[in-house]
Amino acid sequence: MKYATIPNTNIKVSKICLGSMTWGNQNTEAEGHEQMDFALDQGVNFIDTAELYPVPATAEISGRTSKIIGTWLQKRGNRDKVVIASKIAGGGDYTAHIRTTGFSPSAIKEAIDLELERLQTDYIDVYQLHWPERDTNRFGIRDFKLDEIWKDNFNEILHSLDKELKVGRIRNIGISNENSWGTMRYLEESKKHNLPRVVTIQNAYSLLTRTFETDLAEVSLRENVGLLAYSPMAFGVLSGKYIRGNALDNARLKLFPRFARYSGEQATNATSKYLKIAEDNNLSLAQMSLAFVNQQPFVTSTIIGATNLNQLKDNIESVNLVLSDEILSQIDEVHKEIPNPAP
């Protein structure tokens, strides 16, 4: 395994982070425990969850993923061997079953209270804001339109998180599904008012979604905020199984066809071209896709998810693959032809 240090901390994390959002829905508790056991044995020490998980989110199963992690921690007694990241859900119709108070001081306290209980631990290593409260172009929306009256609350949020940091219930803070303006506003507030500084940003990044490179990559590198890259496999599309037609019945897009962000005509065309590059170089498309993300200088850790151990093993092994300049050049040629087909 390879490791990186989370910026502005002394926390060393594996370059592969184990994502968990299928546990409690597509995967059972036993399967979640099995995945964590296997990943830890392979050197993975970083696990990402959220109060929203599993996804698709419903009131009946909300928080079940973190409970599965909690029972594993309790049974194994190995809390000191893993770094755990979690998230507070932002506002939205699809999270009203959790709360409707956004990132208010009471909401942050309540969210951490409940998550610590689910995880059966007394601290969370990296606590993240799952998405901005304000309306902005997140979750696959390309264009920004200013159509709301919103009160800037960056300072209040950081003060609330600072209280939790001071009592040790969280150790570091991060953001997720955020853009450049929001990231810089958090950094500005922390610097101006001596408030805690975000150390990570968790955004989508893959061969099909390289929008992070347009401006956030510069922010990440110059301001030292590490990317925790999620959906590096584009909901499994970049395994090639949907193009080949050999996806199993429990594959994510077969179970939940509404998650079609990476399945449009242009994305499918780009995926076919990336598949050819992989095959011409005797690589699996999955490992090539993950290796591409792993190699980016702004990526602290790549979040992978799997529904079985064979997938998990293949994904973890991608950390040992280093793509040549020639392969990277071929990838960039496809990107020039079909840039960011999935926003």
The catalytic residue positions are 53
Residue 153, H or E segment = none
Cα–Cα distance for residue pair 289/206, rounded to 1 Å: 7
Mode of pairing for the β-strands spanning 12-14 and 3-5:
antiparallel
Other CB atoms closer than 10 Å to residue 218's CB: what's the count? 12
- Interhelix angle 265-280/285-294, rounded to 10 degrees, is 100
Q: Are 341 and 267 in contact (CB under 8 A)?
A: yes
Contact between residue 139 and residue 202 where contact means Cβ atoms under 8 Å apart = no
> Judging by beta carbons within 10 Å of its beta carbon (0-12, 13-18, 19+), is residue 124 exposed, middle or buried?
buried
Query: Which sign does the torsion angle of CA 269, 274, 279, 280 carry?
Result: positive
At 131, is the secondary structure helix, strand, or coil?
Answer: coil
Asked if residues 1 and 280 have their Cβ atoms less than 8 Å apart, the reply is: no
Element housing 64 (H / E)? helix 64-76
Q: Which two tokens stand for residue 262?
A: 């990476």
CB burial string 227-266: b at 16+ within 10 A, e below: bbbbbbbbbbbbbbbbbeeebeeebbbeeeeeeebbbeee
Q: Which residue has the tokens 């199963």?
A: 61
Q: Is 222 exposed, middle or buried (0-12, 13-18, 19+ CB in 10 A)?
A: exposed
Nearest to 238 by CA among 250, 252, 249: 252
CA 182 to chain centre: 18
Question: Is the bond into 56 cis (omega within 30 degrees of 0)?
Answer: yes
